[in-house]
Amino acid sequence: MPIGEAHKSGISFTGLAEYILAQGIYTPQLSDKKPEIIFRNHLFSSNYLELGSEFRDIAKDNLRVTKPVMHLTVNFKETDRISNDTQKKFVKRIMDEMGVREDNHQFLVVKHNDKHPHYHIEINRIGFDGKTLSDSNSKLRIGTACDKIEKEMGLDNYLQETRVFVYDEISKTYKKNENLNRNKSIDVVKQSRNRKVGIQEKKDFIQIATLKTLDNHRVNSLEQLQQELKKQKIDLQYTVNSKEQVAVSFRYDGLAVKGSQISLKGSLIKNQLLSNEKVINQLDDKKEQIDLLKAAYPKLIKSMEQMVEQYNAGKMPDIKLIFAENQITYNNSNTIEYKNLKLELPSFQVLEQDCKFKLEKGKEIYDSNLKKYNALQKVPFEKGFLGILSSEQKRFNSALTERLKSTKPPTLDVAIKTNDFVESLTKEIKKEFVDISSEKITRYMNYIIDNSIKQIMNKELADKKETNTKGNTIEPGESKSKNNALARSSQATEDEEEPVVRRKMRRSSRF
């Protein structure tokens, strides 16, 4: 798959043009390998000296930029069998993703045919508008651009695991690559070799006890690790210098050994404790979000009831004020905040518009009915000649009297039900609750256990299983649960955690 590279910005347009055009180097016998210009934009010459001059004429518009030359390369493997047309489309897409615009930037794209097909792109960072094309994080950006274009063009994406950031086709955004292959930086815990069997057994015991303790994410500091190992009669000593570098040593049954002698360097232990601390923080954050959600729910319901009450009274409620009275902040983007909890309420805007419509409609009907009612009140009774009414006049007056008695003054009926709000709100709160509750937490292991250590741990597990089976003080169910717990020694210890991913942590913390 294509590999994109971004080189450091330079100062010489002429020098780069001479390099990528390689003029005068290839003999007629090697003409098939001679570089060829594929694209050019607002450049007219094919000579590197003249090209340099053309680039420089535009770059003079912004002399504050000392390194106006951007140099990108895109490499293709012949074994991938990507056609020339596809290669050219890919290169153009790369420039688009890197912010290069045809209407604003000069660029020269040259294809090299030696060894494997690859393209050199020379770009003038100074645009026709005088602004500078950013080269910030260009090495990461071009890799991410390759990932995005491969996915959109349907090309093979087997280099994804080597990229720090990847393109998410679902959200259409970039995200950090959780599956980044960093195996070269992972520590391997190996069994030490000592001719004295007794010493070797003690070292193995220290190693395995420490690894099992580190596997418990609740152990997230050197003090806690020290306390847990003390329960197994292992004395852990540690020092932390001004740069937070950790050195450790162990003492057990008369044997003193440095951590480095049993593949348990201070850096390995520190990184794993940091990883454990991260899990605890994530679990705490998760619990806090759930607790806040439970606390916010009744306040939201009360806010909705107050809004509905005002709508039905013919008033336009002050939504922000009502929420604020219930300790909730409402943003116009239909996002509410309660302490550290942020919630999106996408249906609220629809409900709000519906309520406004019902209020306006209710007022129209009320005004119409009021006019009819007032008109009825003004209808005069028939008066006969000299007080004598005809039979028709009597019937009219009798009917009018009945109408006046049966007609009541109109009332405003907005007909908004609290459930219209509450049902929709409850659904969204439940969904948020499920999303938070089901969110998996990944704990990273910063080391790989060598097979020699695994064999000892497996043997120990088998011995304990046999002992538990023969023992009379352990019930079968209890034995099974304990063995299962031991068998999960390399797995995450909380239901919320996903299977362990091994990765090097790059974070500092207090010790």
Which amino acid belongs to residue 144? T
**Cα 96 from Cα 102, distance rounded (Å):** 9
Q: How far apart are the first and last CA of the chain?
A: 44
pLDDT, average across residues 54-59 = 95
Fold of 3-176: BirA Bifunctional Protein; domain 2 (3.30.930)
**Cα 175 from Cα 168, distance rounded (Å):** 7
Span 193-221, pLDDT tens digits: 776 778 988 999 999 999 999 999 999 99
Containing 41, the helix (H) or strand (E) segment is strand 36-41
Rounded to whole angstroms, the maximal C-alpha distance in the chain is: 139
Containing 121, the helix (H) or strand (E) segment is strand 118-124
SS3 111: strand
Span 360-400, pLDDT tens digits: 999 999 999 999 999 999 999 988 777 788 889 889 989 99
Residue 21's nearest CA partner among 54, 45, 3, 46 is: 46
pTM of the predicted model as reported, rounded to 2 decimal places: 0.47
E strands, 253-334, are 255-258, 329-331
CB under 8 Å to 246, separation ≥6 — which residues? Answer: 222, 238, 239, 240, 266, 267, 269, 270, 511
Using the structure block, give the residue that is written with the tokens 């908004």. 416
415-424 core/surface letters (b: 16 or more CB in 10 A; e: else): ebeeebbeeb
Task: Please report, for the chain, the start and end positions of each structural domain, with discontinuous segments joined by +.
Answer: 3-176
Asked if residue 226 has pLDDT above 80, the reply is yes
Q: What is the DSSP letter of 11?
A: S
Span 497-510, pLDDT tens digits: 554 555 444 444 44
Span 99-120, pLDDT tens digits: 999 999 999 999 988 778 899 9
Using the structure block, give the residue that is written with the tokens 């055009």. 21
What was the pLDDT predicted at 489? 35
What was the pLDDT predicted at 347? 78
Strand partners, 344: 335
Which amino acid belongs to residue 181? N
Task: Give the model's confidence band at 474: pLDDT under 50 very low, under 70 low, under 90 confident, else very high.
Answer: very low
Containing 421, the helix (H) or strand (E) segment is helix 418-438
Span 306-323, pLDDT tens digits: 999 999 999 999 999 999
Q: What is the DSSP letter of 216?
A: S
Return the structure tokens found at 205.
Answer: 């015991």
Containing 342, the helix (H) or strand (E) segment is strand 341-344
Asked if residue 450 has pLDDT above 80, the reply is no
pLDDT, average across residues 257-284 = 91
Task: Give the model's confidence band at 23: pLDDT under 50 very low, under 70 low, under 90 confident, else very high.
Answer: low
Residue 270: burial class (beta carbons within 10 Å; 0-12, 13-18, 19+): buried
Span 149-194, pLDDT tens digits: 988 888 877 777 777 888 888 888 888 877 665 544 567 787 777 7
